[in-house]
Amino acid sequence: MEFDNLQIGPEIYGELLQGCVYERALFTGQQIHARILKNGEFYSRNEYIETKLVIFYAKCNVLEVANRLFHRLRKHNLFSWAAIIGLHSRMGFSEDALLGFCEMHENGFLPDNFVVPNALKACGALQLIGFGRGVHGYAVKMGFGGCVFVASSLVDMYGKCGVLEYARKVFDDMLERNVVAWNSMIVCYVQNGMNEEAMGVFYDMRVEGIEPTRVTVASFLSASANLYAFKEGKQGHSIAVLSGLELDNILGSSIINFYSKVGLIEEAELVFFRMLEKDVVTWNLLISSYVQYGQVKTALNMCRLMRKEKLRFDSVTLTSVLSASADTSNVKLGKEGHCYCIRNNLDSDVVVASSTVDMYAKCERIDYARRVFDFTTQRDLVLWNTLLAAYAELGLSGETLKLFYQMQLEGVPPNVVSWNSVILGFLRNNQINEAKDIFSQMQSLGFQPSLITWTTLISGLAQNGSGYEAILLFQKMQELWIQPNIVSIISALSACIDIASLEYGRSIHGYIIRHELFHSIPIATSLVDMYAKCGSIDQAKKVFNMILSKELPFYNAMISGYALHGQAVEALALFNHLKEEGIEPDNITFTSVLSACGHAGLVNEGLELFGDMISKHHVKPSMEHYGCVVSLLSRCGDLDEALQLILAMPFEPDAHILGSLLAACKEHHDIELGKYLSNHLFKLEPENSGNYVALSNAYATAGRWDEVSKLRDLIKEKGLRKSPGCSWIQIGGELNFFVAGDASHPNTEEIYMTLALLVREMQFMGYVPMVSNAEVLCS
């Protein structure tokens, strides 16, 4: 057909372009554009056509072309302005959108109720509440107040700026509300963390009989996921199905997100495989959910499948991969992930940077962690906290504190997480008083300690031998109406380590029963452990028999309890039972059985176990294992062989292993070896009076009273017994020291005086004397 001969006016081309706008038919529109240009300036420089072209390219989101055509216009009008502002606003060039809005106004064009929503969207994106209020005022003055489009945009804008009251007021004042208005209100609450309120609006909407859209359900599911609201979320899914809503990427992702947050991975998978189109977000959701539930292999497999689908990993995918590497201490995988980030420019993302730092720290590569941190340009609170936590974990309290000040100098105020790390850093470095100082400092600066703060302090004190203080803190925490959770209960139980704390342990047990936490395996494990340490092996056995768990740590707790009570036969029986159940014992199991053999003098059994452990169970012997065998050998008098074993170990001997051999010197009157060992020990642990006690025991049994009293004076002179954190064990050691001398010491009177005073002091400090102490007093 010969188009050139036909009389087609410019307005026909305009109509055709409008059709392309409706259809978003970019290619056809470009053909028409070409034809217009070929037709000459009468067509191409026609204001109506030029405006239509701007609108067409703007609606097709072709920013550059739309911009160029717009700037070439001799005369702008309301429509071209509206198109270009809308385009910028849609594409996220919010500043340009608002500049356009101002310029348009200055040039005498009054933005209409189609432009105002776009301007408001830009205000929301930039969180410019002042500008937003101005636009609001303009809209009211122009009489757009009743327009649902404008009002819905206002709700959204105020929500994005975090001013909930204004959003709610605009919403409440609306005379008619369509579904978008309702959706905006729901989204507004979800985005500001007010999930209950979001659900409330959803239910109001249901009562009003408004049909939900995908946006409604997706937002409702977000709220359910954030609240871990199992029932509500399932209802949301049902509504989506019943309303016949199309399972698009966003709705599908919301459903998957909900299921994975509440731990229903199978349900999440079901939805995932039912979705016809899946994008990066959908895949990422499933991947991160696998990582979160420890299924690293499945997660990595999903990554491979994702690549097969020709989808590119983004920063969220890599965050999951790095987090998986951190969880499994897989530095090889972590490095691969890190390198992928560098190659693909994902390492500039702050979240990726945090996971990278965390990954290297958890893989025991603090030097790399630090380097990655130093190379970041943008540092947010979480990134600082990640490095703080890494230093704290290692007990590098000085570095932690330095970083804590540095972040403040760089204008990032710390939060509770940061404070918690500072406290942890001190505790891990045995700086109890400093930790407590920070704890009160944070409170005086107005930071409420969180449950984690309390738990950190409680378990730290317990691990540093201040169990009694830890128990008091646990009680104080409850007085402040802070509900303990499983982790904090376990840390409180770990503070109960001797008969003196049995009562507290029992009361925590009561709490556990009242709050029906009994079926948590970690809690049951800690209970067994607590009762065993507090001298109540029968109670430990009762708890153990009540729970049917085949988990190794649970068995380990009971076996170590038997070992502690010298019940080697029971320990060995349970060990054999465990093997019959097909559970592979670990290094902890062997430590307990070996030490049980040591206490019971079961030399042959112990040595055989030690051999089996290495050859059959492929457990690399630790210092503790060697320690057990050393005490086993020294018990039956093989002090030389024990010493040979120590010298042959692949470790530098620690104070504990030397101490156990030193203790044996008392039984076997080996003063020479005792002196040799003590010399090492005094250097290793100058603060531990136990070593002096052990040596004096050896002297005492050999009748060398001159040496005994020399050592006693030395202990007093060094003020060791009064050192901070002086524990019951040390006092117990002192008692033994005096006991050792009582049979033939020339001044028995004095010894009993001292003993009585010591026992009274013990009681004053809240300790209940052990049976052996009481026996000493009675004899």
Q: Which is nearer to DNA, 261 or 565 (CB)?
A: 261
**To the nearest whole angstrom, how small is the minimum distance from the Cβ of residue 376 to DNA?**
11
Residue 543: Cβ-neighbour burial (10 angstroms; 0-12, 13-18, 19+): buried
Q: Which is nearer to DNA, 149 or 752 (CB)?
A: 149
Candidate residues 16, 97, 324, 326; the one interacting with DNA per rule CB under 7 A: 326
Both tokens of 771, joined, read 């049976």
Q: Which is nearer to DNA, 163 or 642 (CB)?
A: 163
Note whether 319 binds DNA by CB under 7 A: yes
Q: Which is nearer to DNA, 177 or 541 (CB)?
A: 177
Q: Which is nearer to DNA, 453 or 525 (CB)?
A: 453
Contact 695, 723 (CB under 8 A): no
Query: Residue 137: enclosing H or E segment and its boundaries?
Result: helix 129-141
Candidate residues 164, 412, 451, 614; the one interacting with DNA per rule CB under 7 A: 451
Candidate residues 239, 280, 412, 472; the one interacting with DNA per rule CB under 7 A: 280
Note whether 206 binds DNA by CB under 7 A: no
- CA separation for the pair 46, 69 (Å, rounded): 13
**To the nearest whole angstrom, how small is the minimum distance from the Cβ of residue 419 to DNA?**
8
**To the nearest whole angstrom, how small is the minimum distance from the Cβ of residue 280 to DNA?**
4
CA distances from 111 to 7, 16, 132, 149, 157 (A): 36, 26, 14, 14, 17
Candidate residues 30, 39, 44, 213; the one interacting with DNA per rule CB under 7 A: 213
**To the nearest whole angstrom, how small is the minimum distance from the Cβ of residue 547 to DNA?**
22
Note whether 215 binds DNA by CB under 7 A: yes
Q: Which is nearer to DNA, 222 or 736 (CB)?
A: 222
Q: How many CA atoms lie within 13 A of 480 on its CB side?
A: 13
Residue with tokens 């609001």: 136
Note whether 355 binds DNA by CB under 7 A: yes
- CA separation for the pair 630, 366 (Å, rounded): 35
Residue 608: what residue type?
A: E
Residue 652: Cβ-neighbour burial (10 angstroms; 0-12, 13-18, 19+): exposed
Query: Residue 344: enclosing H or E segment and its boundaries?
Result: none
Candidate residues 320, 376, 560, 730; the one interacting with DNA per rule CB under 7 A: 320
# chain residues binding DNA, by CB under 7 A: 84
Handedness of CA 457, 460, 462, 465 (dihedral sign): negative
**To the nearest whole angstrom, how small is the minimum distance from the Cβ of residue 386 to DNA?**
4
Residue 304: Cβ-neighbour burial (10 angstroms; 0-12, 13-18, 19+): exposed
Residue 23: Cβ-neighbour burial (10 angstroms; 0-12, 13-18, 19+): exposed
Q: Which stretch binds DNA (CB under 7 A): 331-339, 485-493, 592-600, 764-772?
A: 485-493
- CA separation for the pair 291, 333 (Å, rounded): 14
User: Closest Cα to residue 557, out of 529, 581, 576?
Assistant: 529
Q: Which is nearer to DNA, 120 or 563 (CB)?
A: 120
Contact 167, 175 (CB under 8 A): no
**Of residues 749-768, which lie at the interface with DNA (CB under 7 A)?**
none
Q: Which stretch binds DNA (CB under 7 A): 76-84, 244-252, 394-402, 672-680?
A: 244-252
- CA separation for the pair 78, 104 (Å, rounded): 8
Note whether 190 binds DNA by CB under 7 A: yes
Candidate residues 80, 195, 453, 727; the one interacting with DNA per rule CB under 7 A: 453
Contact 338, 322 (CB under 8 A): yes
**To the nearest whole angstrom, how small is the minimum distance from the Cβ of residue 532 to DNA?**
22
Q: Which stretch binds DNA (CB under 7 A): 231-239, 300-308, 378-386, 396-404?
A: 378-386
Contact 646, 658 (CB under 8 A): yes
**Of residues 703-732, which lie at the interface with DNA (CB under 7 A)?**
none
Both tokens of 378, joined, read 């943008």
Candidate residues 112, 269, 364, 393; the one interacting with DNA per rule CB under 7 A: 393
- CA separation for the pair 725, 312 (Å, rounded): 56
- CA separation for the pair 736, 742 (Å, rounded): 10
Candidate residues 17, 21, 80, 156; the one interacting with DNA per rule CB under 7 A: 156
Note whether 501 binds DNA by CB under 7 A: no
CA distances from 337 to 312, 314, 317, 325, 417 (A): 14, 11, 10, 9, 26
Candidate residues 46, 94, 224, 282; the one interacting with DNA per rule CB under 7 A: 282
**Of residues 89-128, which lie at the interface with DNA (CB under 7 A)?**
90, 117-118, 121
**Of residues 284-313, which lie at the interface with DNA (CB under 7 A)?**
284-285, 288, 292
**Of residues 249-278, which lie at the interface with DNA (CB under 7 A)?**
249-254, 257
Note whether 389 binds DNA by CB under 7 A: yes
Note whether 183 binds DNA by CB under 7 A: yes
Q: Which is nearer to DNA, 320 or 689 (CB)?
A: 320
Provide the Cα torsion 508, 513, 515, 516; round to 10°.
140
Tell me how far apart the terminal alpha carbons of the chain are, to the nearest angstrom.
Answer: 125
Note whether 660 binds DNA by CB under 7 A: no
Q: Which is nearer to DNA, 29 or 86 (CB)?
A: 86
CA distances from 236 to 218, 240, 264 (A): 8, 6, 15
Provide the Cα torsion 385, 389, 390, 394; round to 10°.
150
Note whether 152 binds DNA by CB under 7 A: yes
Q: Which is nearer to DNA, 407 or 740 (CB)?
A: 407
Note whether 429 binds DNA by CB under 7 A: no
- CA separation for the pair 126, 7 (Å, rounded): 49
Candidate residues 316, 508, 572, 632; the one interacting with DNA per rule CB under 7 A: 316
Note whether 506 binds DNA by CB under 7 A: no
Note whether 379 binds DNA by CB under 7 A: no
- CA separation for the pair 100, 231 (Å, rounded): 47
Q: Which is nearer to DNA, 491 or 696 (CB)?
A: 491
**To the nearest whole angstrom, how small is the minimum distance from the Cβ of residue 728 to DNA?**
23
Candidate residues 47, 248, 336, 685; the one interacting with DNA per rule CB under 7 A: 248
Note whether 456 binds DNA by CB under 7 A: yes
User: Closest Cα to residue 495, out of 464, 470, 532?
Assistant: 470
**To the nearest whole angstrom, how small is the minimum distance from the Cβ of residue 300 to DNA?**
16
Note whether 229 binds DNA by CB under 7 A: no
Candidate residues 46, 67, 400, 491; the one interacting with DNA per rule CB under 7 A: 491
User: Closest Cα to residue 54, out of 64, 42, 39?
Assistant: 64
**To the nearest whole angstrom, how small is the minimum distance from the Cβ of residue 528 to DNA?**
20
Q: Which stretch binds DNA (CB under 7 A): 9-17, 93-101, 218-226, 629-637?
A: 218-226
Residue 1: Cβ-neighbour burial (10 angstroms; 0-12, 13-18, 19+): exposed
Note whether 424 binds DNA by CB under 7 A: yes
Q: Which is nearer to DNA, 120 or 534 (CB)?
A: 120
Candidate residues 78, 350, 671, 770; the one interacting with DNA per rule CB under 7 A: 350
**To the nearest whole angstrom, how small is the minimum distance from the Cβ of residue 652 to DNA?**
27
CA distances from 769 to 498, 562, 729, 776 (A): 10, 22, 11, 11
Provide the Cα torsion 563, 565, 568, 569; round to 10°.
-130
Q: Which stretch binds DNA (CB under 7 A): 215-223, 523-531, 563-571, 643-651?
A: 215-223
**Of residues 160-179, which lie at the interface with DNA (CB under 7 A)?**
178-179
Candidate residues 281, 636, 649, 671; the one interacting with DNA per rule CB under 7 A: 281
